[in-house]
Every structure is written in structure tokens, then in C-alpha cells.
Structure 1
Amino acid sequence: MGLKQLVLEFGFWVLFISSIFTNNLVVSSNVDKIQEVITRGNILVDGKNVIGTTDPNFVCATLDWWPHDQCDYGNCSWDQSSLLNLDLNNKILMNAVKAFSPLKLRLGGTLQDRLIYETELQQHCIPFIKNNSNLLGYNQGCLPLSRWDQLNTFFNKSGAVVMFGLNVLNGRFVMRNGSVVGSWNSTNAKSFIEYSLRKGYKIHGWELGNELTGTGTAIRIEADQYASDVISFHNIIQKVYKNEKVKPLILAPGGFFNPIWFKEFIHKTTSTNIDVVSHHIYNLGPGSDMNLAEKILNPSLFDHEVVNTFRGMRSVINNSAQVWVGEGGGIYRSGRNQVSNTFLFSFWYLDQLGLSSSYDTKTYCRQTLIGGNYGLLNTTTFKPNPDYYSALLWHRLMGNKVLSTNFSGSNKIRAYAHCSKQSQGGITLLLINMDKMNRVEAKLNAVNGSITCRHNGKMTNVREEYRLTAKNGNLQSQSVLLNGKELIVDDEDNIPPMEPVTVNAEQPITIAPLSILFAHIPYLCLRACS
């Protein structure tokens, strides 16, 4: 991870330094016809201590409300991906969600605070219509109950786990300076929640508001008022679900981290009124930035502002609630075409999953499943973009216990280790090589708790490797290779199988330049994973 302080905390820094072995060789690369450097390094994993835990279903994705005419920097990237008109009969979409078994879906986004719901009290229902003179650029839109029924049929068939973001601006007035005055009118939201319960719709969580916290947006609600809204919301949920043994989670505020604002918010809500404190991540900047590729491949950028956000959230929340990234898209204003929908973006995305889980983030919701230029699925064809396969491999391989991990030998390698979902006691490594020339050969060492173990009842001396590379070496390709074979849906729109290659344990772990490696290591059992 590059987080040396974690190594210090576990007291094996001296061992780490003494075990470094670096030896650079130069060979010729047949693909790129450039000089490729072989760097030898060391992966060190603490086998005794767990530094974080995630939800077993850590990976999450979002679905948004943006209409087809939402355009950013002259690029209109949303097409028919809105929750109001997304083709729910598309087989790739269904199979893409089913493959996770289950996939968490967070329904929301900017326009959720301009959305009302058709109920017996609200029968006039019109879609969003673009109007730049209106709040957030659109008139007030409406979700017809017939569409809500269709969505829940899809969720039920696909096995999705659903979080729904509610409108917290209803009944309020937004001042010219962006401050919000007036009380939240919860009547429409309460009727919608009651309808959902009567229909038997399984909502895992209800979230209140979107990006209305202290900084980062044009509209804001003060922390004490937001806390009061959450307490009122909690009382509504308790009343509506009073006869239910399992009640849905309460999530808020879904905004950008500001330590002063969040500290006051948490102090005044208390853990009895909120289950999940959600925040958003767009650390790479706007989609108009011409230097996004360089930023993504510069790991030093990830170790400052983003680390401070994850560390700050953990410190402020202090176990009083779960911490989720409710929306992580990296590049705000809909992402950037040929960047956030290509193999290049997996370097940022998988590092986000690794880094956030190291700071005890329980769930990470990627913006988006489909829609904009940062969808896991192509907005028009529905075919998976490279990040879809990255997310699916993480979901299948990385367990919920996070281990302290460090790599020596190159500062362009990001290294993470979790207890494995594939074997009891074993681990799964994630190695991300952001270097354009260095092929890394690494030895794996574990301290503080390595034990002899068996995989499927037998001793084993092989590991399973999943190597992700860009098609034709083009980082901005929307196709990805797994162990040299392109991943594509078949003629029946099924998600392809993702099979590993087996490698003898005595061989060093090798990761090519500008590639990603998941390695399931069943022969290394750690006490932290037993």
C-alpha cells in the first residue's frame, strides 16, 4: 500500500528493511520494443493482525437519475441509463448484476433531491425536464409507482441488494448563497416508504440526501439541521417498520468529507439514529482535465488527500457507525470518455478498493453501474467495461479481513492482501503495477502467524493467478485480457468465466508493466484468517 506507518505499528520494520532485495536487469520487450527493467522486490504481510474489515459484499455500484440531455463539457454521456428509462429487459444488464450474487446497488445522485414519488397523495407525475434556470438545472421530476414496480421486479430477479436515496430538499428553499432554509417535508417520502413495504419490496437501506454537506457542492445544509433531519427520518423508519424483525439501514449524508461538518453531524445524530455514514470520492478532478492519465498512474497522489479522507472518516466516526463510500467516480461531471471507461481506470479503481478497505470502509459504491463515462457497463451497448471485470474479481477473491501489507523494490507497485474468499486460512494478493517499464519479480514473506494449511483437504504448492492487461497494450482500450485471453460476453449475453492460471509456489510472483494481478495463495495460511 505504501503505508509505512502500518508496518511500524506492527513492529516489523526492521525485518522489512533487512529482507529487501533489489536487483535490476534490462531485457527487451517484444511488444513495446522498449527496454524493460526487471525489478526484484519483497511483499511483506502481517499474518496476525487484521487492520480493517469490510462487508462480505464490499463492492457496490450506483444507478442515477440523469436524463439523456445531461451534458458535461459538450459530451452527453447518459443516453437511456436513467432509473426512469433504463432497459431493464437487457440480458447483459441482468447477467452482469446476477454474476455478483449479490451486487449492492445504490439508487440516487444529484437529482434525487429534485425527485418526488407518485403516491395516493401525489398523483401528478412528470419526468425531469431540462431548465437551466431551475435548481440543479431541471424541473422537479417524479418516479411513477409503475416504474418503481418494474425496478423492483428487476432487483428481485437479479438478486440485487438495494439502497434508495431520498429527497431531503422537499419543502425547502435554497438561498442564492446555497444555504438551505425551512423544514424538510417528509410526507411524500414516508408515503413512498410505506408503499414499498406494503408491496414487500426488500430495501436494504434508505439514504437521506445527496452531496449537501459542508463543502464540495453549491447547496448545503448545516450539520445541526441535517442531524435533526436524520433523527426525524429515523423515527419514520422505526414507525413504518415497527412490525418488521429486520429494519433497513439508515444512511446519510452522502457528501464530501469535511472534518468539522462531519464531527458536528455525528455528535448530534448519535449511533442510535444512523447506521451508515456515507461520503463521496472524486479525487481526480473534473472530466475536462487533460492530465487525467498522468494522475491515474501517479501513486503519490493517492497517499495524501485520499488517505487523509479515509483516515479522517475513520477517526471522526470512531466506530459509532459504518463508513461507506456511497459514490466513488474519481472524475466528477460524468467522468471522461476514453479514460474512465477504459482499462486505464482500473489502476485508480482497484487502488481505491484496496485503500478504502484498509481504513475500515465497509462498502464502496462505484459511480456508476451504467451511465456517464464512468460506468462499469457501456452506456449504449451494455457490454462490460474493464472495471466491471476488476470489480467482479475483487468480489469473488478478496475476503472481508484486511491484512497489513507492504512492498519494497518499486514505488510504482500498490500491494494489498486480504484473507481469501477462496480458501480457509489462505490469502489473496492484489498487486497493481503502474510502472511503464518495470517488470517486478517478488518474493512473498509473512510474519507473525504463518501456519501450515491445506486447500480442499490437501496440501498444495500452487497458487492461482489472475492477470489483467489491456488489449494490444493500449491502456485506453475498452477491452481487457485475463491471462492473455479477451473477456467478452458470449452470443447469449452471458458474462464470461474467469479462470486462473496455476503457478508453482517456488516461482516468484511476477507482474508485468502496466498490469494488475490477483493471486490466490492457499498454501500460505495466516492466523488472522483462520
Structure 2
Amino acid sequence: MGIQLVLFLFLASLRLGLSQDVEHGLILVQGIQAIAETDDNFICATIDWWPHDKCDYNNCPWGNSSAANLDLSHPFLVKAIQALKPLRIRVGGSLQDQLLYEVGSLKSPCHPFQKMKGGLFGFSKGCLQMKRWDELNNFFDNTGAIVTFGLNALKGRHPSGHNTVWQGDWDSSNAYDLINYTVSKGYKIDSWEFGNELSGKGIAASVSAVQYGKDLIKLKEVLNSLYNNSNFKPLLVAPGGFYSKDWYDKLLQVTGPGIVNVLSHHLYNLGPGSDEHLDRKILDPEHLSKVEPIFRSLSETIKKYGHWSSAWVGEAGGAFNSGGRQISNTFVDSFWYLDQLGMASRYNTKVYCRQTIIGGNYGLLDTTTFVPNPDYYSALLWHRLMGNTVLAASSDVFSPSLRSYAHCSKGRDGITLLLINLSNQTDFTLMVRDRVPLSSGGHENGTSIHVENSLLNNLKRAFSWIGRKGSDVTFREEYHLNAKDNYLRSQTMLLNGVPLELTNDGEIPTLEPLLISVHSPIHLDPLSIAFVVLPYFDAPACAAQTKL
């Protein structure tokens, strides 16, 4: 093992020494205090209602992935969800505000969604049969999923004839009957979400913040009544739309304390799936950072008007309208996805729901074969390695192409880094050290960076360690992610050079790390991603987490 490690380090240093662009620097982590916290079940994915004939740009990528007809018995689906246990699944999407429930006093016939000229999003109203609701809940129970269900928030309203605005009070009767049935059957829905993309100007429809707030108060009364005799109290999530500061501020002011438990918002920062330059946007650090003001502003909204609420990303798929064909289901997509997971965490986002677990071009699983796409493995690594305590992390390198995030490790001592290299020509050689707060008399940057091609200097650096905690641990774990054959649009992701593929028995593959000497630097290839587990890193902020 020792000879193999020395050879690995020598070859890595040789490669770096011959590389055209090598940038050395520090990853600075402040381990003394947390900057944010996520929920234990931070990773979430959606099951949508889109039928097979939902098409965008002459592409119809949904197949039978709707909550109404998804094959819940498919072993790949079951195993993929169980591997992420507990995975939060959000059932909802654009058509949920046209969905009726075949229960109680419903007098309308129960038909599936059908194409309809003039209908919202080009579809008719649809209906959920209770037989299917039973099947879904049995599936959730068998896989250990935590469920958020999106309710129809347009029932009883009517278009005003002015832009997308809908008016009128919400008719709660059908939702009441569904929730009552759910409680009577003992099904555990962790949270009920009210509406989909009706905030601000909306997409196909919108409701004023004042009216929405009044209806949320009514829904809270329904939940309190139906769960009155239950020890379990579900969360109320809203509005599941695109963030508009004035609208969100007003919603919290109207509802007041204790009504809205979760303030959810949607993100599609890459634009339409038809964009021919999606991969350029994904690899552009400036473009990726444009979403950060949304996280910051929503955090400020909650602090000022709704400190009893928490923030969720209720839906995010990168590119809207089903995602980008031959982009959203390939390796390159993991750059924006993991970067946004890291960024969202820094702003106390408790849950991040990926659009979708299956369906569209952006599914974590292939719509036809149910085989995991690269982003599934990115989500799985995050879920297994990144704890819910978020630490401040930065680097002293000049290049904006290096993105760095740090969390306490999940279920063990130390920290885990997420490092993303967006550059197509720069290798990064990195050491890790504590970032001592300035108030403690330390300096933010412990060393300056430099670019060099000297093989001798690379070898010298390979056996230096910058740290503060002595430890008997001599190795760290590294999980390097690359595209197969260096083709960014490959649907096969490599983990430490090994293709991530289901086993012959259809099992999720073992995610084996490289064990690297703690005295060597971290080498990050161009256009690659790495999770690095540092069990020896002294982070007092993580002490409480590891005791749980």
C-alpha cells in the first residue's frame, strides 16, 4: 500500500509538473463555528404530474414518469431511493393546480390529464384516484421516503382576464377530503405544500400575496382540525414559486407567526432547455454566482418577517421546460447541481428538491431504463458525506474557476470538502488549513499562491502539511469525479477512474474512495469535481454533530 501511494503521488506530481497551467493555493476552512445548518434530509427530488405527451422543442422526454402512472415496482427505482434513505420526495409540479382528488364529495368525473387547447400549460384538469394514492403511499413507506405533497391552490378561483391573475377565495373542500382520507388511512405526509409557481407574476397563473395569505390561514385551520388527535403535525409549505421579494414579504406579513413553516422557492438559473450554450453557462463561474442574491434576499426576508419559517428550494432543474437534451442527463450537469447545493447550504436552506427523480431530461434516473444518470451519484455522494453543519470555506487562488464548500462530515469526525474545478486547462494543487477568525488575531490568508511548472517544487509540496491538529490518522478519503473519455456530455461518470454503473444484480455500485496521505496536497484535474474527507481536521463546530 505504501509503495502504491508513493507511486500515485509521484505520477500526480509528474503530471502536474508537465501541465501547462498549475495553480497552487490554500483552502481555508473556519472550523470554530458554523455559518448555517441544513436538514438531515437535505437531498430531495420531485415526482411530477406531466403525462407522456408533454413536449418541449420537439422532444417528449417524460414517458411514463408521472405520479399517476410511474412504475412503482421497478427495482432500479426502489433501490435508487432506498440508497438515499431518507430521501424527501416532493410530489407536485405545474399541473398540480389543476388536479382534483377522487374522494369525498367530488362530483366531477375522474379523468387523467389530456391535451387541451386553452388549458393551463395546454392541458385539461386531471384527477387522482384513491387507489393510486394508496399505491403511492405504500411505495413511500416501503422505500422510507419522506413526503411533501403539493395541493391544488386554484380550486374555486377564476381568471380575472388581466394577465395571469386569478381571483376568488380558495375552495378547500376537495383538499379537506384528501387530507382527511390520508389521516384516516394512517399515511404520513410530512408536509403539505400549497400551490405551484403562483407567486409574483406567476407562470401561467398568479394569485395576490394578500389572497394567498388568507387562504394559507384557512389551510392551516384545516390541518390543525384534521391532525388534532395525532401526535404528528405536518409542516405547511408555501408558496412553491419564483422568489419575488415584495410578494414573499407581504405573504409573511399577512399570515403572521406560526402559519407558514417553510418558505419554498424554485430555481431555473440556466434558462430554457433549448439554449445551445447550456454547457457554457454551467461552466461559467460568473453565471453560477448570479443566483446567490436570491438566496441572500430570501434569508433576509425570513429574518425580518418570518423567523419561525425556514427556506427550501422546492424545485430546481437547472434548465426549464424539461431540461436540456443531452446536457441535463450528462456529466457536465453536475457542475451547476453540486455548486448550487453548496451555495444553497450556505444560506440556511434546509431542503433542496431536484427536478426530478425521474422524468424529463433532468431526471436523476433515466426515464426509459431507470438507470442512474451522473447527477444521481453526485446527490448520493453529497448525501453520504456532507453533514448538516455548514462551515465557511474559501480559497486564496486567483482563478474564479475553483469553487469550494465545507461541511462537517456526516456521522464521523472531521470535515468534508466539495471542490469544483470549472477550468478546462488549470490543475489545482491545494493544501487545507484552518482559517482563524480575524477577531482572534489571525490572518485570513496564510500564504500567497503561485503558479509554477517545477517538478522539484511540486514534489516538495507533496510532502508538506499545513494544519493545526495532530492526529494518528494518516490518510484522507478522496472521491474524484470525471467524465468518461473526458467527454463532458457522457452519461457515464467516473469515480476515481472507475465507471459508476449498476451491478449485474441492479444494485447501486459501491462508492470507493482513494486513501491519500494527509501529508500530500490535493490535486484537482481540469473539469473535475472532488469530495475530500478530512477526519483529522480540528473543527470545534462539528463536535456537537458527531455526538448525535
- Scaled by the length of structure 1, the TM-score of the pair is 0.91
Please report how far the alpha carbon of residue 365 of structure 1 lies from its aligned counterpart in structure 2 after TM superposition: 0.2
| Kept after mapping to 2: 8 A contact 1:26/1:37 | no
State the one-letter code of the partner of 1:54: T
State the one-letter code of the partner of 1:299: P
Deviation larger for 59-68 or 133-142: 133-142
What is the aligned partner in structure 2 of residue 395 from structure 1? 383
What is the aligned partner in structure 1 of residue 230 from structure 2? 244
Please report how far the alpha carbon of residue 36 of structure 1 lies from its aligned counterpart in structure 2 after TM superposition: 4.1
Distance in structure 1 (CA, Å) of the matches to 2:246 and 2:151: 24
Is 1:411 paired with 2:403? no
Please report how far the alpha carbon of residue 528 of structure 1 lies from its aligned counterpart in structure 2 after TM superposition: 1.1
Is 1:112 paired with 2:112? no
| Kept after mapping to 1: 8 A contact 2:192/2:236 | yes
Aligned pair partner of 1:336 in 302, 324, 342: 324
1:11-30 alignment, distance < 5 Å:
none
Is 1:286 paired with 2:299? no
What is the aligned partner in structure 1 of residue 524 from structure 2? 511
State the one-letter code of the partner of 1:282: Y
Aligned pair partner of 1:492 in 491, 502, 505: 505
Please report how far the alpha carbon of residue 135 of structure 1 lies from its aligned counterpart in structure 2 after TM superposition: 2.4
Deviation larger for 438-447 or 378-387: 438-447
Distance in structure 2 (CA, Å) of the matches to 1:364 and 1:133: 33
Is 1:171 paired with 2:120? no
Please report how far the alpha carbon of residue 216 of structure 1 lies from its aligned counterpart in structure 2 after TM superposition: 4.9
Distance in structure 1 (CA, Å) of the matches to 2:409 and 2:245: 34
Aligned pair partner of 1:78 in 62, 65, 75: 62
| Kept after mapping to 2: 8 A contact 1:340/1:374 | yes
Q: How many residues align?
A: 497
Aligned pair partner of 1:461 in 442, 452, 474: 474
| Kept after mapping to 1: 8 A contact 2:164/2:201 | no
Distance in structure 2 (CA, Å) of the matches to 1:333 and 1:370: 15
1:422-441 alignment, distance < 5 Å:
422-424=411-413, 426-441=414-429
| Kept after mapping to 2: 8 A contact 1:122/1:188 | yes
State the one-letter code of the partner of 1:379: T
Distance in structure 2 (CA, Å) of the matches to 1:334 and 1:242: 40
| Kept after mapping to 1: 8 A contact 2:164/2:202 | no
Corresponding residue SS for 1:67 = coil
| Kept after mapping to 1: 8 A contact 2:104/2:174 | no
Corresponding residue SS for 1:83 = coil
Distance in structure 2 (CA, Å) of the matches to 1:443 and 1:228: 54
Please report how far the alpha carbon of residue 128 of structure 1 lies from its aligned counterpart in structure 2 after TM superposition: 0.5
Distance in structure 2 (CA, Å) of the matches to 1:115 and 1:453: 59
| Kept after mapping to 2: 8 A contact 1:27/1:38 | no
1:472-491 alignment, distance < 5 Å:
472-491=485-504
What is the aligned partner in structure 2 of residue 17 from structure 1? none
| Kept after mapping to 1: 8 A contact 2:433/2:468 | no
State the one-letter code of the partner of 1:244: S
Measured against aligned partners, the alpha-carbon deviations of 1:10-38 in whole angstroms (never above 9, x if no partner) come to xxxxxxxxxxxxxxx998799xxx96422
Distance in structure 2 (CA, Å) of the matches to 1:351 and 1:72: 26
Deviation larger for 250-259 or 485-494: 485-494
Distance in structure 2 (CA, Å) of the matches to 1:28 and 1:145: 61
Is 1:223 paired with 2:212? no
Is 1:259 paired with 2:245? yes
Corresponding residue SS for 2:149 = strand
What is the aligned partner in structure 2 of residue 189 from structure 1? 175
Corresponding residue SS for 1:252 = strand
Distance in structure 1 (CA, Å) of the matches to 2:484 and 2:20: 19
Corresponding residue SS for 1:203 = coil
| Kept after mapping to 1: 8 A contact 2:76/2:371 | yes
Please report how far the alpha carbon of residue 453 of structure 1 lies from its aligned counterpart in structure 2 after TM superposition: 7.1
Aligned pair partner of 1:142 in 99, 122, 127: 127
Aligned pair partner of 1:233 in 203, 219, 228: 219
| Kept after mapping to 2: 8 A contact 1:78/1:379 | yes
Corresponding residue SS for 1:362 = strand
Distance in structure 2 (CA, Å) of the matches to 1:211 and 1:470: 34
Please report how far the alpha carbon of residue 407 of structure 1 lies from its aligned counterpart in structure 2 after TM superposition: 1.3
Please report how far the alpha carbon of residue 122 of structure 1 lies from its aligned counterpart in structure 2 after TM superposition: 2.1
State the one-letter code of the partner of 2:30: D
1:337-376 alignment, distance < 5 Å:
337-376=325-364
| Kept after mapping to 2: 8 A contact 1:296/1:348 | yes
Is 1:208 paired with 2:194? yes
State the one-letter code of the partner of 2:425: M
| Kept after mapping to 1: 8 A contact 2:403/2:420 | yes
What is the aligned partner in structure 1 of residue 5 from structure 2? none
Measured against aligned partners, the alpha-carbon deviations of 1:151-197 in whole angstroms (never above 9, x if no partner) come to 11111110000000000001111233111111111100010001011
What is the aligned partner in structure 2 of residue 8 from structure 1? none
Corresponding residue SS for 2:330 = coil
Deviation larger for 342-351 or 491-500: 491-500
Corresponding residue SS for 2:246 = helix
What is the aligned partner in structure 1 of residue 77 from structure 2? 93
Aligned pair partner of 2:409 in 394, 417, 420: 420
Distance in structure 2 (CA, Å) of the matches to 1:273 and 1:527: 35
Corresponding residue SS for 1:502 = strand
Distance in structure 2 (CA, Å) of the matches to 1:102 and 1:476: 30
What is the aligned partner in structure 2 of residue 64 from structure 1? 48
Measured against aligned partners, the alpha-carbon deviations of 1:281-310 in whole angstroms (never above 9, x if no partner) come to 001101111111110000111223x11100
1:436-447 alignment, distance < 5 Å:
436-447=424-435
| Kept after mapping to 1: 8 A contact 2:16/2:427 | no
Unaligned runs of 5+ in 1: 1-24
